[in-house]
Amino acid sequence: MHAFPQSGFRARFRALFFLVLAGTAPLFAAFTHPGGLHTQADLDRMKAHVAAGDRPWIDSWNALLLDAKARSTYNPAPQANMGASRQRASADAVAAYLNALRGYISGDTTYTDNAIRICNLWSAAVNQVPSGTDQPGLNGLYTYQFAVVGEILRIHVGTRWAQADFDRFKAMMATYLYPACHDFLVRHNNACISAYWANWDAANIVAIASIGVLCDDQAKFDEAVDYFKNGAGNGSIPKAVAFLHPGGLENPYGLGQWQESGRDQEHNNLGVGLLGSFCQIAWNQGMDLFGYDNNRLLAGVEYVARYALWEDVPYSIYNNCDNVNQYWPARAGRGQLQRPIWELLYNHYVVRRGLSAPAVSALAALNRPEGYTHDDHFGYGTLAYTLDTTASPMPSAAPAVPASLVAEAGLGRVHLTWAPVPGAYGYTVKRATAAGGPFAVLSTYRGTAPQYTDTSGVAGTTYFYTVASKNQAGSSADSAAASAIPQAAGALPSGWTQRDIGAVGVAGTAAYSAVADQSFSLSGAGSNIGGTSDSFSYTFVTVSGDATITARLIGGTFSGAGSSGKMGILFRESLDPAAATQSLTLGDVGFRLARFGTRASSCASMTFIGGNAYSAISEGPIWYRLQRLGDTFTAYQSDDGVTWYSVGRTTAAMSPTCLVGLAVASNSATAISAVFDHVSVTGTQPTSASGPVSRP
């Protein structure tokens, strides 16, 4: 059981009760105002705790005072088309929000007046439905934000905010901004229904709900609620929490895999935060959507939080109509703490409801006092949502010393890993050239990632490393030291050759070290691996009969690469640019698409089967494998070298003797590089090449 906001639910219930008795009951009783993200009681709670200097509210308030967007001198940049720069529209909305809060809490009306001025300038300028990049779609972000600001400022209508200006602001919402939000949820820009990610729908759901409250429009509010429950797109709660796994939470579902988990954690957190805000708005109108469908949102929120804390989570392969083939939870953005979304969720589920959400609780504590760090979210949730000081303490002790530090040598690098430290919101990595030091700071960073790669060392030098954890209360002592020697690359091993295939413009290179189970460093230009002929840098060994090549792609330099640049592993019949080829490459859009390519015969056009569409190596290594059994070729991917996922299988009559190896193509006049380790080629390797080995 929980208590609904008394100023909303009970008052509306009483009014509706008497109207029913009179036989004149409307479909809906009056909305609670203010009743967007914050009720009057919420605003008064913030004001009282700040005035008393209570922690943790005062800590978040003091951070707000330093925010450039919270100044009464902040100047917006209104435009007739709000979609011309959604980022600037969101920035201005956040500034209006912070000024509105600062004015109410401090009593200094210069901030209130600036918030009103920002809203007035925008409502006077906007005269069209937003259009431009990502419109309709992400227009829901600034629409929701401005609507929430208007709901706070309505308490000043008739005093500091002229009724005519407030009416024009509401008209902007209903006339220009709502149609774009509605259109996206209905049409999704004519794309297949699962093409857009959950955060796109979520932005428009919360926007329409906010407009409904601001404009006292029950139909719009109901539209948002219905979409949250039953919508066809990925932002509806049954699809946003795409898979349900056992997980020990106090609901039948346990952990709920968020729809964007295989994409990246940045957008995962965006969707979580947006639907959390939507449920908060509904709660302030007397409707419990936080608990809808057995707390399904909580199942998804806890899943996202656990992964952010570097805990293992169950995962089901996800795909959509764009064939994204997400085989594992994405590492991109994992452990970053830049989105201020956790205090709202923690205070509702744990403090108000008394439910168990250990990872959400931990993330809220790591971010406390939660500040503003992203224009997609208002921030300062410690000020806005904290309900009880004893339930939301600031850390009083530094975290534990990191344990189990391991230093793994590689080609021009040393990779460090250690056990995650509970209560740590960052780490300091130090390095020395002697076991006893002195140790110098190599890196200090904010985030939960218990790993670091040092690429700044000199090959052949023994380095000693320590790690310390840190939080709001301070830093731990340094860990026990671990050492490793980064290795330099030298000549290729016996049997391996580097050749440029086709017209590459810039000659390719290749080098080798036995470190990390056979490491190769490649560079090259060339136009592509695909079409009816290729142009790239190739490092290979000649093999006869059945064979398998496995390699882990761990890094590279991609600046200057074109849109179809690629790197990966190949089976190739010869060095002829049009030769029959089987390839498994990473490349194309942002160097994140894994694709299994087949050119079944000389001069044929290469066809592709999509693998994991979010395999960017900027956040960690990716494993690749190509296997030949007779004329059957199978491609695999893995994120850990243990569990492998089949990308595809094809049959092609390739010569028994072929060239197996590593490739890189930049699709530009500038060469790019790639580093592979754990490279192995199993099979029969002839003593002499039977195919062409000269440059074409």
Nearest to 696 by CA among 502, 494, 420: 502
Calculate what percentage of the chain has a pLDDT beyond 70: 93
What domains can you pick out in the chain, each with its CATH number? 1-30 (no CATH), 31-385 (1.50.10.100), 406-484 (2.60.40.10), 496-684 (2.60.120.200)
Retrieve residue 274's tokens.
């947006």
Residue 290 φ/ψ, nearest 5 degrees = -55, -40
Please report which helix (H) or strand (E) contains residue 194, including its range: none
Task: Indicate whether 571 pLDDT > 60.
Answer: yes
For residues 578-597, average pLDDT: 92
For residues 573-586, average pLDDT: 97
Is residue 370 very low, low, confident or very high in pLDDT (cuts 50, 70, 90)?
very high
Q: What is the pLDDT of residue 148?
A: 98
Q: What is the pLDDT of residue 565?
A: 86
Q: What is the pLDDT of residue 693?
A: 25
For residues 546-570, average pLDDT: 87
Q: What is the pLDDT of residue 618?
A: 75
Gyration radius from the chain CA atoms: 29
Largest alpha-carbon pair distance within the chain?
98
Note the pLDDT tens digit of each residue in 9-67: 433 443 343 333 333 333 446 899 999 999 999 999 999 999 999 999 999 999 999 99
Q: What is the pLDDT of residue 248?
A: 66
Q: What is the pLDDT of residue 677?
A: 97
Taking the C-alpha atoms of 120, 126, 129 and 135 in order, what is their torsion angle to the nearest 10 degrees? -80
Poorest-pLDDT segment among 258-272, 365-379, 621-635: 365-379
Q: What is the pLDDT of residue 562?
A: 67
* 619 vs 527, residue with greater confidence: 527
Mean pLDDT (the chain) is 92
d(CA 667, CA 558): 11
Q: What is the pLDDT of residue 687?
A: 42
Q: Angle of helix 218-230 relative to helix 198-214, nearest 10 degrees?
A: 160
Note the pLDDT tens digit of each residue in 679-688: 999 986 654 3
Q: What is the pLDDT of residue 14?
A: 36
Calculate what percentage of the chain has a pLDDT beyond 90: 87
Contact criterion met (CB below 8 Å) for 530 and 517: no
Is residue 101 very low, low, confident or very high in pLDDT (cuts 50, 70, 90)?
very high
Retrieve residue 38's tokens.
């914050």
Q: What is the pLDDT of residue 560?
A: 66
Q: What is the pLDDT of residue 691?
A: 29
* Cα separation of the two ends of the chain: 76
Q: How many CB atoms lie within 10 A of CB 524?
A: 29
Q: What is the pLDDT of residue 13?
A: 41
| Angle of CA points 539, 541, 546, to nearest 5° | 130
Q: What is the pLDDT of residue 564?
A: 73
Residue 118 burial class via C-beta count within 10 angstroms: exposed 0-12, middle 13-18, buried 19 and up = buried
Q: What is the pLDDT of residue 23?
A: 37
Q: What is the pLDDT of residue 692?
A: 27
Nearest to 301 by CA among 351, 251, 241, 352: 241
Assign 155 to helix, strand or coil: helix
Poorest-pLDDT segment among 229-238, 523-532, 584-593: 584-593
Q: What is the pLDDT of residue 9?
A: 41
